[in-house]
């Protein structure tokens, strides 16, 4: 028989597996600013100061939503 704690743990594991199976969402600076409630300028500043994970693709700054969510959740900066 499963306890309520067991059920919660199974649900958390299931949700984590589903999240990992979703396709990667790649965002540009404007989309990232909107998603996380920053200005475009603030996002550029965070990149310049290496305060958030980003990638340069053909000279354009791109972000992985998964990487940003993990970064912000891990560092306790936001709860998304």
> Order of strands, edge to edge, in the sheet holding 60-64?
26-27, 60-64, 55-57
Find out if CATH 1.10.40 is the number for domain 23-80. Answer: no
Long-range residue pairs from 52-55, CB within 8 A, at least 24 positions apart, any chain: none
Q: Is the pTM of this model over 0.85?
A: no
Both structure tokens of 44: 């550029």
Is 46:63 a contact under the CB 8 Å cutoff?
A: no
Three-state secondary-structure class, residue 30: helix
pLDDT digits (tens, 9 = 90+) for 55-70: 999 999 999 998 998 8
Domain ranges of the chain: 23-80
For 8-53, write each residue's pLDDT tens digit: 999 999 888 877 777 789 999 999 999 999 999 999 999 999 999 9
């Amino acid at each position: 028989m499963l306890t309520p704690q067991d059920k919660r743990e199974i649900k958390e594991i299931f949700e984590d597996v589903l999240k990992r199976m979703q396709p990667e969402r790649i965002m540009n600076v404007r989309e990232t600013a909107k998603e996380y409630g920053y200005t475009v300028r603030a996002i550029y500043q965070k990149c310049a100061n290496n305060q958030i994970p980003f990638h340069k693709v053909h000279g354009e700054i791109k972000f992985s939503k998964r990487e940003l969510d993990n970064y912000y959740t891990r560092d306790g900066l936001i709860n998304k």
